[in-house]
Homo-oligomer: A and B are copies of this chain.
Amino acid sequence: MIKIAICGGSGYTGIELLRILSGHPDAVITAITSEKSAGKGLVELFPHLHKYKDLVYEPLNKEKLLDKADVFFLALPHGASQEAVNFFFRNGKKVIDLSADFRLRDPETYKDWYGLPHDFVPTLKKAVYGLPEIYRNKIRKARLIANPGCYPTSAILGLLPAIKGGLIDLSSIVIDSKSGTSGAGRKADLAVSFCEVNEGFKAYGIGTHRHTPEIEQELSSLSGKKITVNFTPHLLPVDRGILTTIYARLKEKTDTASALNVYKKKYAGEPFVNVLAEGVLPNIKNVRGTNFCELGVKVNERTNTLVIVSVIDNLVKGASGQAVHNMNIMMGIEEDRGLGSLALLP
Contact = CB atoms under 8 A, between A and B. Distances in A.
A46 B346 CA distance: 11
Nearest to A247: B174
A63 interface: no
A29 B59 CA distance: 47
Contacts of A197: 194
B238 A342 contact: no
B48 A345 contact: yes
Interface string A263-298: 000000000001010001111111111100010101
Contacts of A333: none
Contacts of A62: none
Interface in A99-140: none
Contact of A344 (B181, B289, B302): B289
Given A206-B307, A230-B307, A234-B245, A181 B200 contact: no
Chain A interface extent, by class? 35 or more
A230 B194 CA distance: 28
Contacts of A50: 274
Interface stretch (A15-23, A74-82, A141-149, A154-162): A15-23
A158 B290 CA distance: 32
Nearest to A283: B202
A341 B47 CA distance: 14
B303 A228 contact: yes
A18 B203 CA distance: 27
B284 A200 contact: yes
B188 A232 contact: no
Interface string A172-215: 10101010011000111110111111111111101100000000
A288 to B, nearest CB: 7
Contacts of A282: 202
A318 interface: no
B195 A190 contact: no
Nearest to A307: B206
A48 B342 contact: yes
Contacts of A236: 201, 236-237
Nearest to A229: B303
A48 to B, nearest CB: 4
A15 B284 contact: no
A305 interface: yes
Interface in A239-263: 239-241, 243, 245, 247
A309 interface: yes
A54 B206 CA distance: 30
11 contacts: A19-B341, A19-B342, A181-B194, A192-B193, A192-B195, A198-B238, A199-B288, A201-B241, A202-B281, A230-B247, A288-B344
Interface of A: 12, 15, 18-19, 22-23, 46-51, 172, 174, 176, 178, 181-182, 186-190, 192-204, 206-207, 228-230, 232, 234, 236-241, 243, 245, 247, 274, 276, 280-290, 294, 296, 298, 300-303, 305, 307, 309, 340-346
